[in-house]
A = this chain, B = another copy of it.
Amino acid sequence: MDQGLRIFITVAKTRSFSRAAEELHLTQPAVSQQIRSLESRYDTRLFERNNKSVELTPAGKILFREGTEILNQYARTKRLIEDLTQSANGPLSLGASYTFGEYVLPPVLAKFCAHYPQIRPKVTIHNTQRIAEEVRRRMLDIGLVEGKIDHPELEILPVSEDELFVTLSANHPLASAGKVHVKDLADERWILRENGSGTRDVANQFFKDTGLSPKNILEFGSTQVIKESVETGLGLSILSPWSFRKELLLGTLHTLSVQGISMRRHFYALTRATSFHTKAMDLFLDFLTPELHNHPFPTTHAHLSLEPPQNEGL
């Protein structure tokens, strides 16, 4: 930041060009050169150097004293700014898509807040597109979304895997089938999130892959309503187990694997590619991935192997 001055101060302290060079991990000519350039800038000799010794001239003494203060102030400034930013505190605005925000995020966030009480997270829930847009516009520090986003201004970091399943009422004829064939689902009624939601994207892909073209689709804007509708036997849905952990534990909802089809996707964290991260942001990002691996990720079928995902005490 002012290398010349730093070199000068070191020479003055060590009374040697060579020692100074060592100390600064530079070569001796680099030191000679910087001193020469300072001397020409101030238009005076700064050191009296007769081959055995290096001594400050009067001008050098002034520069040494003032320069020391300047370097101190650089250091002080850096510290002041670090105190301001590096201390992990202040606001952290998170945006999450529905599934992530409503089901995955809360326990993680609770733990995060316990760890870093000075950080005050604020969560906004929207669909993936909107979240991405708001991260880009700096309205959000971090976006947490279900679908892949490709935008040059956004940095995308996969934080967790997710697998969606065909979900149905425990009273449904297929409920205990576990694994079924595509054709078994041909005549079912489906209850899905609206188009545009990440979950619906996966469902649409599922229908495309399986060749199913269901005539009977109900669209609800709320996962909560969908779950309750499925529980009453109104139809089947395609959901992330994250969103119906409780229902799996209670046994009111079951999942099906469909022969040869898996509906995997990732959760991603989005940040602006070009912006700086606050300390709080980095802490959260570092916290997120391991934390999601701690929470036993509910990939398997409820009736086969579900473990209480957290201390939810059944």
Residues of A within 8 A of B (CB): 1-2, 4-5, 39-45, 58-59, 62-63, 65-67, 69-70, 73-74, 76-78, 80-82, 84-86, 274-276, 278
* Cβ–Cβ < 8 Å partners of A77 in chain B: 62-63, 66-67, 70
Nearest CB in chain B: distance from A208 CB, A: 40
Tell me the bound Cα distance from A262 to B86 in angstroms.
55
Nearest CB in chain B: distance from A116 CB, A: 18
Contact B276 A84 (CB under 8 A): no
How many copies, total?
Answer: 2
Tell me the bound Cα distance from A65 to B275 in angstroms.
8
Chain B: which residue is nearest A48 at the CB level?
B138
Contact A84 B66 (CB under 8 A): no
Tell me the bound Cα distance from A45 to B85 in angstroms.
10
Chain B CB within 10 Å — which of A41, A65, A276 has the most? A276
- A59 in complex: contacting residue of B39, B73, B84, CB < 8 Å: B84
- A70 in complex: contacting residue of B73, B86, B276, CB < 8 Å: B73
* Cβ–Cβ < 8 Å partners of A43 in chain B: 85-86, 276
Contact B39 A276 (CB under 8 A): yes
* Cβ–Cβ < 8 Å partners of A76 in chain B: 66
* Cβ–Cβ < 8 Å partners of A1 in chain B: 2, 4-5, 41
* Cβ–Cβ < 8 Å partners of A276 in chain B: 39-40, 43-45, 62, 65-66
* Cβ–Cβ < 8 Å partners of A278 in chain B: 44
* Cβ–Cβ < 8 Å partners of A42 in chain B: 78, 81-82, 85
* Cβ–Cβ < 8 Å partners of A59 in chain B: 81, 84-85
Chain B: which residue is nearest A272 at the CB level?
B69
- A73 in complex: contacting residue of B73, B85, B275, CB < 8 Å: B73
* Cβ–Cβ < 8 Å partners of A80 in chain B: 62, 66
Contact B74 A62 (CB under 8 A): no
A45-B275, A62-B84 are known; give 6 further A-B pairs, CB within 8 A: A40-B276, A44-B276, A44-B278, A65-B276, A67-B77, A70-B70
